[in-house]
Each structure stands twice: as C-alpha cells, then as structure tokens.
C-alpha cells in the first residue's frame, strides 16, 4: 500500500555539471549547519484519499480532520481543540450562529465595561 504523507527537501543541482550546491565554510558558520537543505523549507504532500482513517499519531489526527471534517473527542493533537471549537460554530445554522455571535459580542461588551470600571475611567 502506498504511503499518504510524503516529505521533500530542497536540493540544488548544477544544470551543466549536475553537481550539488554546497555551503561554503562561512555559510556553514553563519547558518550553523552543513547542509543547504537545513536552511530551505521542507515540503509535505498529503494524499488524503489514501489515508485509511486510522489515527495512529497526532499528524494522522489532523489528516483525519482534513478528510472527514470532524474531530474525535479522543484526539490530542496541538491546535485541534481550537479547530474543533471553530468547526462546531461553523456547523451551526445561520440563525444559531447569529445568536451565538450576539452572545459573544455581549460578553465582550460586559468585559470591556468591567475593565473600564476597574481602571477608574468608568
């Protein structure tokens, strides 16, 4: 079975001699590395349709979310809690979302009033 996550690194090859570009001694000192690939981005390609829907690690939890549009309660990947909260709001009907947003606005207003009263400006 083919993988569903592929990692690529930046490599520079000469067009005429096919040699690999390397860092000179000063660049190695500045960047504190031996390899050019360490200072350029890595790329990840995710083939979501090849994912078998089994979350074995936190990366798989994110891939599950991308594929299914849902986050299981047992998922622990960093940032998924916030994504779940946003997703829950997005799933509300338009009327429910407007009521929710009005409620949040009221909370912000109350907080601002309490803050201003406590600072001696209210």
How many CA atoms within 13 Å lie on the side-chain side of 50?
9
Condensed to tens digits (0 to 9), the pLDDT of residues 6-65 reads 999 999 999 999 999 999 999 999 999 999 999 999 999 999 999 999 999 999 999 999
At what angle are helices 58-68 and 80-90 packed, to 10 degrees? 10
Is the per-residue pLDDT at 122 higher than 80? Answer: no
Condensed to tens digits (0 to 9), the pLDDT of residues 52-111 reads 999 999 999 999 999 998 999 999 999 999 998 888 888 899 999 999 999 989 988 888
CB 40 within 8 A of CB 10: yes
């Amino acid at each position: 079975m083919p993988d569903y996550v592929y990692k690529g690194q930046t490599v520079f090859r000469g067009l005429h001699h096919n040699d690999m570009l390397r860092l000179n001694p000063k660049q190695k000192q500045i960047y504190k590395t031996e390899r050019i690939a360490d200072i350029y981005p890595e790329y990840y390609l995710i083939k979501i349709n090849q994912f078998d829907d089994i979350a074995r690690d936190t990366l798989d939890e994110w891939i599950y979310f991308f594929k299914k549009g849902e986050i299981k309660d047992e998922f622990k990947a960093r940032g998924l809690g916030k994504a779940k909260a946003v997703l829950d709001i997005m799933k509300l009907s338009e009327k429910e979302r407007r009521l929710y947003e009005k409620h949040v606005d009221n909370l912000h207003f109350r907080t601002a009033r309490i803050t201003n009263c406590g600072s001696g400006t209210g």
